[in-house]
Structure 1
Amino acid sequence: MTGSSISGVYVRFKPHILMILAQIAFSFLFIITEASFNHGLNPFVYITYRHIVGGLFTLPFAYFIERKIRRKLTLALFLEIFVLSLLSVSLTLNMYFTSLNYTSPTLVACMTNTVASLTFILAVILRLEEVNVRSPHGIAKTLGAGVSLAGVMMMTLYKGPSMKDLGYTLIHIEGATTVVQKNWLKGSLLAIASCITWSICYILQTYTLKRYPAQLSLTTWINFVGAAQSAVFTVIVQHKQAAWTVGFNIDLWSILYGGVVISGMVTFFQLWCTEAKGPVFMTMFNPLSTLLVALLAYFVLGEKLYVGSILGGITVVVGLYLLLWGKEHDEVEKKLKENDEKKTLPLPSDENDLKGEP
């Protein structure tokens, strides 16, 4: 392949590559945060510190790279960013981690993986995503969203026979504790609420990026504002000063990884892909992290891998392919239609000038 053809392929599949890298990053986040929480790190303190680190990481890039394209921050725009930070950081993540204390990780994982389908439904209602049920591409998009959701449900609710134990563990996480089911109803409601706010957040990002098309600057603002909101909440629910102390151990590495990679780089990737491809495209890659976490836990942590996870993962990939295929062909048809409309526009003529008409 020539250099130009490789460059063309990269430009075409750049959003896909970024989203796959994002899901790989989320998979490693699962291991490192589980280790730090078992070590004693408070989840609410983790959220606050992580987004402070994320804001500090993206700040210099946003300041120098986007200083010419960054728009003036008005009060209305700041309030919009405030709400966006509330939905993407402080409110959503704190509800998510609180729901884990009241229910089980399996239930929460099942619910959070429905964010893609919820976002798809909201995008269709708000006409951010076009679905023509008479078109094969529209049918593929709808069917893909449904198949992907079915695969997620299979991964989380159906186990089946377990795979053969590898007999070794590359990484051993100590201090694992069993989740105490204090209030199943309360935890379920919090998990559902976090999924809804996540979906609304991804939709809101689409509108905010139109008024503030500077992804690095928006990432920085979301991190700092979200960290401030989370800090206020954490101070209210966590009065012990010792909880805010982080030593030079797994807790620090967890915060640095979450801040630099997830809150910094991955958030920027998501905003870029949201502006380029829309919120549905970005969220449809989320279930891949569930499959990657299951494989990572099996090969690295030595945990059991069940047939249900494998079958569910294959189903998710099939659904994702159907949706991406339908979306890709819809975009091609849309561009062809726009080009045809441009060609049919009347060309400027000098006849009016010859007649002396305006």
Structure 2
Amino acid sequence: MARDDTLRGHGAGAAAGVAPERARLHVAMLSLQFGYAGFHVVSRLALNMGVSKLVFPVYRNLIALCLLAPFAYYLEKKDRPAMTPGLLLQFFLLALCGITANQGFYLLGLDNTSPTFASAIQNSVPAITFAMAAALGIERVSLRRLDGLAKVAGTALCVAGASVITLFKGPAVFGPAAALDVAHHHQPAAPASGGGGKSWMLGCLYLMGHCVSWSGWLVLQAPVLKRYPARLSVTSYTCLFGLLQFLAVAAVAERDAAAWALGSGAELLTVLYAGLVASGVAFAVQTWCIDRSGPVFVAVYQPVQTLLVAVMASLILGERFYLGGIIGAVLIIAGLYLVLWGKSEERALAAKEDAAAAAGTICDEAAAASCLKQPLLPPATSEAV
């Protein structure tokens, strides 16, 4: 009885400790989507002001490195394992995938399309990440169990919901009656090529490369964090190698020295926002969430970004909110619930298996101890001769 009470007490304490962490993970990911929603607008403003597509990521990653490196150095002195050539290669590949290819393809795609389309196409990240993680065995999926089916169906619903918000407008549900409809008809209907030498189709290909790179970065972080469990240091090394890679590319492709000068305070603010919020804070938050809950949990929040853009446009810019936004929001929330429910059921099943294994070990140890205490032969009895 005492042992059962002790086990129940440990289980209740573990459950109480898990709940606040899960809440922090959800709050962190929601805050991250707000930051990224603003980054789409900021990046477009920077490109419109003439900031170079190579200089912009160099400054962005330099600011992020200056922000993260001091914290990583002082807070993770005891957590950093010894550096090896294999780890350096992994950091280099993380930077190549998650910074150089990811940010480079994004800026090229954004320059040829629009922030709305760039945000919409990023909703393929959960599906790509889920497929990559399942193929590599990082994310366990059993289609014979409800949790596996829920994760697959939830991911599909998230992507479908964000697609509905982008592609289907429908009648206006609520919003200012005097809102102008000009802004809603301003976006082109995906022409093959735009003015000024820009190609919509090429922009779509760049953005798909951005999504694949982003998904690969999310998935590759999980095994690296197991070998090098210092999250801020991993992020700092990734920013360092990404900065070096962009500097190497800029040294060859950007020959205009004037492109490195930020000509106005607005350009400086866009670079600071990109470096501090979209790289420094965002990378640290993403790495922490991946370490605590896996890459699919991080990726599945991506479609929320499109919903936030629609809501912010309605509240701040005075745009009407249409039926497509309502339907898409319902699909996104339902998809998130299914994925998170599936992961919760998977964790509960794993906890039961661990508890059963631990209970079996305790029983085996108790049986072995009783066998040692009990003699192998019964004591001799004195009989009359």
TM-score calculated relative to the size of structure 2? 0.82
- CA distance, structure 1, for counterparts of residue 202 and residue 127 of structure 2: 23
Moved more, 61-70 or 218-227: 218-227
Q: Is the 8 A contact 1:166 1:302 kept in 2?
A: no
Instruction: Return the alpha-carbon distance in structure 2 between the equivalents of residues 117 and 99 of structure 1.
Output: 20
- Give the equivalent residue in structure 2 for 1:61: 71
Matches within 5 A, 1:175-190: 180=195, 182-190=198-206
8 Å contact kept, 1:100–1:179? no
Instruction: Name the residue aligned to 1:112.
Output: 122
Aligned equivalent of 1:77: 87
Task: Give matches, 1:315-354, under 5 Å.
Answer: 315-345=331-361, 346-347=364-365, 349-350=368-369, 351=371
Instruction: Give the superposition deviation at 1:5.
Output: 10
Tell me, yes or no, if structure 1 residue 279 matches structure 2 residue 295. Answer: yes
CA distance 1:12–1:98, shift in 2 (3 Å): closer
| 1:253 CA drift (Å) | 1.4
Q: 1:300-336 CA distances to partner (integer Å, 9 max, x unpaired)?
A: 2345543323321221121011110111121111111
After TM superposition, the structure 1 stretch with the greater mean CA deviation from structure 2, 194-203 or 153-162, is 153-162
Larger radius of gyration: 2
Find the partner of 2:280 among 243, 264, 276: 264
Q: 1:166 to 1:283 in 2, by over 3 A?
A: farther
Answer whether contact 1:110 1:157 (CA < 8 A) is retained.
no
User: Does residue 1:35 correspond to 2:51, yes or no?
Assistant: no
Matched, 1:87 2:101: no
> Does 2:216 align with 1:200?
yes
Amino acid at match of 1:215: R
Alpha-carbon distance in 2 for matches of 1:48, 1:185: 26
Supply the AA of the counterpart residue of 1:230: F
User: Are the aligned partners of 1:46 and 1:255 in contact in 2 as well (CA < 8 Å)?
Assistant: yes
Matched, 1:253 2:263: no
Deviation at residue 339 of structure 1 after TM alignment: 0.9
1:122 corresponds in structure 2 to 132
Q: Is the 8 A contact 1:166 1:299 kept in 2?
A: no
Counterpart of 1:172? none
The equivalent residue for 2:61 is 51
CA contact (8 A) 2:162 2:328 kept: yes
* 1:143 alignment partner in structure 2: 153
- Tell me, in whole angstroms, the C-alpha distance in 2 between the residues paired with 1:217 and 1:203: 18
- 1:205: how far off? 0.4
Cα 1:5–1:210 shift into 2, 3 Å = closer
CA–CA separation in structure 1 for the residues paired with 2:252 and 2:317: 36
Contact 1:104 1:179 in 2 (8 A): no
- Is the 8 Å Cα contact of residues 147 and 346 (structure 2) preserved in structure 1? yes
- Which ranges of structure 1 fall in alignment gaps of 5 or more residues? 170-175
Whichever residue aligns with residue 136 of structure 2, its letter is L
Instruction: Report the aligned-residue RMSD.
Output: 2.8
Deviation at 1:355, TM superposition (A): 9.0
Question: Partner of 1:43: helix, strand, or coil?
Answer: coil
Segments of structure 2 that go 5 or more residues without pairing to the other structure are 1-13, 181-186, 377-385
- Corresponding residue for 2:259? 243
Contact in 2 for aligned 1:36/1:251 (Cα 8 Å) = yes
Compared with structure 1, are the counterparts of its residues 12 and 106 closer, same or farther at alpha carbon in structure 2 (3 Å cutoff)?
closer
Report the counterpart of residue 221 of structure 1 in structure 2.
237
Counterpart residue type for residue 94 of structure 2: L
User: Quick one: distance in 2 between partners of 1:179 and 1:185?
Assistant: 9
Segment of structure 1 superposing worse, 289-298 or 234-243: 234-243
2:263 & 2:375 partners in 1: Cα distance? 84
When normalised by structure 1's length, the TM-score is 0.88
**One-letter amino acid of the structure 2 residue matched with residue 285 of structure 1:** Y
**Aligned pairs for 1:274-313 within 5 A:** 274-303=290-319, 305-313=321-329
Contact 1:137 1:326 in 2 (8 A): yes
CA distance in 1 between counterparts of 2:91 and 2:243 reads 13
Amino acid at match of 2:158: S
| Structure 1 counterpart of 2:365, one-letter code | L
Equivalent-residue separation in structure 2 for 1:11 and 1:53 (angstroms): 29
Question: Which residue of the partner structure matches residue 97 of structure 1?
Answer: 107
C-alpha distance in 1 between matches for 2:48 and 2:325: 25
